Amino acid sequence: ANDVLAIINIKIDNEIAKSYEKALNFIINLLNKGFPCSYSIEFSSKSKKEFLNIEELVKSSTHRFFRRILDFPELYNKLEIYAKTAMKKFEFYRDIEDEDDEDKRALSGSYAVFGLALYDEKYFPLLEEYYLKLNDKYQLVHQYFIKAFIDRYGVNQKSLPLILKGFLSGQFDIIFGNLAELVKNEKNKKLLIKELENYSENEKEIILYSIWGEKWKKMIN
CA distance 98 to 78: 31
Mean pLDDT (whole number) for 80-87: 97
- Could you tell me which residue, 99 or 60, shows the higher pLDDT? 60
Indicate whether 136 pLDDT > 80.
Answer: no
> Quick check: 117 and 127 in contact, CB under 8 A?
yes
Mean pLDDT (whole number) for 43-61: 95
Share of the chain above pLDDT 90, in %: 84
Indicate whether 75 pLDDT > 90.
Answer: yes
For residue 221, what pLDDT band results from cuts at 50, 70 and 90?
low
Within 8 A by CB and 6+ apart from 3, the residues are 35, 36
3-class SS of residue 180: helix
Within 8 A by CB and 6+ apart from 28, the residues are 81, 82, 85
What is the Rg, in whole angstroms, of the alpha carbon atoms belonging to the chain? 18
DSSP 168: T
Q: What pLDDT is attached to residue 100?
A: 57
Instruction: Write down the pTM of the prediction.
Output: 0.94
Q: Go through 40-59 and write b for each residue having 16 or more CB atoms within 10 A of its CB, e for each that does not.
A: bbbbebeeeeeebebeebbe
